[in-house]
Amino acid sequence: MHDDLDHTLEAGGAGTAVLLDEPDSQALAPVSSGHSGTFQVRNPGTGEVVGTYPVATAVEVQAAVGRAREAAEWWSTLGFAERGRRLDAFRGILARRIHELAALMREEMGKPHSDAALEVAVVLDHIAWAAKHAEKTLSPRRTRSGLATIHLKGRVGYQPLGVIGVIGPWNFPVMTPLGSVIFALAAGNTVVFKPSEFSPGVGLWLERAMAEVVPEQPVFQVVTGTGATGAALSRAGVDKVSFTGSTATAKKVMAACAESLTPLVAECGGKDAVIIDRDADLDAAVDGVTWSAFANAGQACIGTERVYVHQDRYEDFLARLVDRVGPLQAGPGDEKQIGAITMPSQVGVIEAHVRDALDRGGRVLVGG
């Protein structure tokens, strides 16, 4: 969700940097496998190839949208109760195979198995809510008339849009896209999903799981590929696009959608600060900052990037933070608390942040 990842933690006006050791990255970005129309995905912690996937062409994306359009006619007529039953069954598959899915997430984007399993567990609640509450939320309801139409009665109703295009991120490859996919399906839409090129296998796993509970029609399809595939999906005649990713890419998706006035929902990155005032509970503050800054290797749109501490509490806070962060370890092993950096290009960004902090008088207190 966020492609400006900063592992530098600046506290107070002193510009002190608190850093974790990061092992040398052996990971490579998805690259052509040498065969036209495919790309490889590598484990970011080991550099090993974990899969080869097709790059869907514009024609193939258009065909998927066409199939989704036909499936939407059937899916929308099932009604809320039956759609909810299917989504509950999908939820059951995720719950029973949570460790299988978590292992795949770890292979593709590098997060620890425990973090990956937690991500899947979180989305189970989202699915349950959508399955249970879609009918109440979207059923027709009466609405008040204004003075000019006081002699009329009004009702507001909701109809499925049709086909929703979802373009997902790599940092939370299950929770984030399913936040769009599940609610779209619950409302009676079908979905064509383009996962990140760093986590296509996760997307295909979800597609197969959905097909088990909805074998009749392709209500949830996945098209794998690069940014060109995402652009093709935005131009393929979908009725709405849900995008999660960087602001720079969101602008490109928005431009593609604008060509046909396709509605777009975009969730982009953030620049997130923590402010610790004089009366703060420092133990709680240290726990919160540590979790927010280092969870998912800092690869989150709401992850802490900088900390401002009241001058009277600065030294105390800094000492506690160093004690808390010092034992943490980064790497691909099960004993490590922090996983690998998913995008190889971000390693250079992180190193540049560290150099900049040091050039400006910062100090490395952990790692280095």
Least confident of 31-35, 47-51, 111-115, 209-213: 31-35
pLDDT at 13: 30
Residue 218, domain member (yes or no): yes
145 or 213, which is more confident: 213
* CA angle at 290 for the pair 287 and 291, rounded to the nearest 5°: 85
47 or 207, which is more confident: 207
Distance in angstroms (rounded) separating the CA atoms of residues 128 and 87: 8
Whether residue 341 contacts residue 44, with contact meaning beta carbons closer than 8 Å, is answered with yes
Q: What is the mean pLDDT of the chain?
A: 88
Is the pLDDT assigned to residue 65 strictly greater than 60?
Answer: yes
CATH no. for residue 97?
Answer: 3.40.605.10
Task: Kindly state the helix (H) or strand (E) to which residue 265 belongs, with its residue range.
Answer: strand 264-267
255 token code pair: 């431009």
Task: Kindly state the helix (H) or strand (E) to which residue 349 belongs, with its residue range.
Answer: helix 344-359
pLDDT at 219: 98
Q: Which residues, 6+ apart, have CB-to-CB distance to 102 below 8 Å? A: 113, 116, 117, 119, 120
336 or 75, which is more confident: 75
Chain CA centroid to CA 163, Å: 21
In 3D, which of 290, 316, 248 has the Cα closest to residue 7? 290
> How confident is the model over 112-133, as a mean pLDDT?
95
Give the pLDDT band of residue 126 (cuts 50, 70, 90). very high
Is the pLDDT assigned to residue 135 strictly greater than 50?
Answer: yes
Residue 261, domain member (yes or no): no
Distance in angstroms (rounded) separating the CA atoms of residues 99 and 339: 17
Is the pLDDT assigned to residue 203 strictly greater than 80?
Answer: yes
Whether residue 110 contacts residue 332, with contact meaning beta carbons closer than 8 Å, is answered with yes
Residue 187, domain member (yes or no): yes
pLDDT at 151: 86
Residue range of the domain that includes 214:
54-133+169-225
pLDDT at 358: 93
Is the pLDDT assigned to residue 23 strictly greater than 80?
Answer: no
Is the pLDDT assigned to residue 142 strictly greater than 50?
Answer: yes
* Residue 166, phi-psi category: left (phi > 0), alpha (psi -120 to 50), beta (remainder): beta
Residue 300, domain member (yes or no): no
Whether residue 353 contacts residue 6, with contact meaning beta carbons closer than 8 Å, is answered with yes
pLDDT at 243: 97
Q: Which long-range contacts (CB under 8 A, 24 or more apart) does 67-71 make?
A: 67/218, 67/221, 68/163, 68/190, 68/191, 68/192, 68/218, 68/219, 68/221, 69/162, 69/163, 69/190, 70/217, 71/190, 71/217, 71/218, 71/219
Q: What is the pTM of this model?
A: 0.84
Chain CA centroid to CA 339, Å: 16
pLDDT at 8: 25
- 240-244 and 163-167: which strand pairing? parallel
- The 3-state DSSP class for residue 259 equals coil
pLDDT at 206: 98
CB-based burial label for 283 (10 Å; 0-12, 13-18, 19+): exposed
pLDDT at 31: 44
Task: Kindly state the helix (H) or strand (E) to which residue 202 belongs, with its residue range.
Answer: helix 200-213
pLDDT at 346: 86
pLDDT at 147: 84
- The 3-state DSSP class for residue 94 equals helix
Give the pLDDT band of residue 331 (cuts 50, 70, 90). confident
pLDDT at 200: 97
* Domain total in the chain: 1
- What length does the chain have? 368
Please spell the DSSP secondary structure of 277-292, one letter per residue: -TT--HHHHHHHHHHH
Q: Positive or negative, the Cα torsion across 169, 175, 179, 181?
A: positive
Residue 278, domain member (yes or no): no
pLDDT at 22: 34
> How confident is the model over 87-115, as a mean pLDDT?
95
Distance in angstroms (rounded) separating the CA atoms of residues 169 and 182: 16
As annotated, the active-site residues are 267, 301
> pLDDT tens, 338-363?
888 888 888 888 899 899 999 999 99
- The 3-state DSSP class for residue 319 equals helix
Q: Which residues pair with 307 in a beta bridge?
A: 11, 274
Residue 109, domain member (yes or no): yes
Q: Which residue has 């800094």 as its token pair?
A: 318
Please spell the DSSP secondary structure of 30-42, one letter per residue: --B-SSTTEEEEE
Residue 282, domain member (yes or no): no
In 3D, which of 314, 179, 306 has the Cα closest to residue 244? 179
Is the pLDDT assigned to residue 112 strictly greater than 70?
Answer: yes
Distance in angstroms (rounded) separating the CA atoms of residues 223 and 206: 12
113 token code pair: 């198995």
Percent of the chain whose pLDDT exceeds 90: 70
Distance in angstroms (rounded) separating the CA atoms of residues 105 and 103: 5
> How confident is the model over 280-289, as a mean pLDDT?
95
> How confident is the model over 137-151, as a mean pLDDT?
87
> How confident is the model over 193-212, as a mean pLDDT?
97
Is the pLDDT assigned to residue 34 strictly greater than 60?
Answer: no
Q: Which residues of 345-367 are buried (b: 16+ CB within 10 A; e: fewer)?
A: ebbebbeebbeebeeeebeebbb
- 190-194 and 273-276: which strand pairing? unpaired
Is the pLDDT assigned to residue 290 strictly greater than 60?
Answer: yes
Is the pLDDT assigned to residue 20 strictly greater than 70?
Answer: no
Residue 186, domain member (yes or no): yes
pLDDT at 2: 37
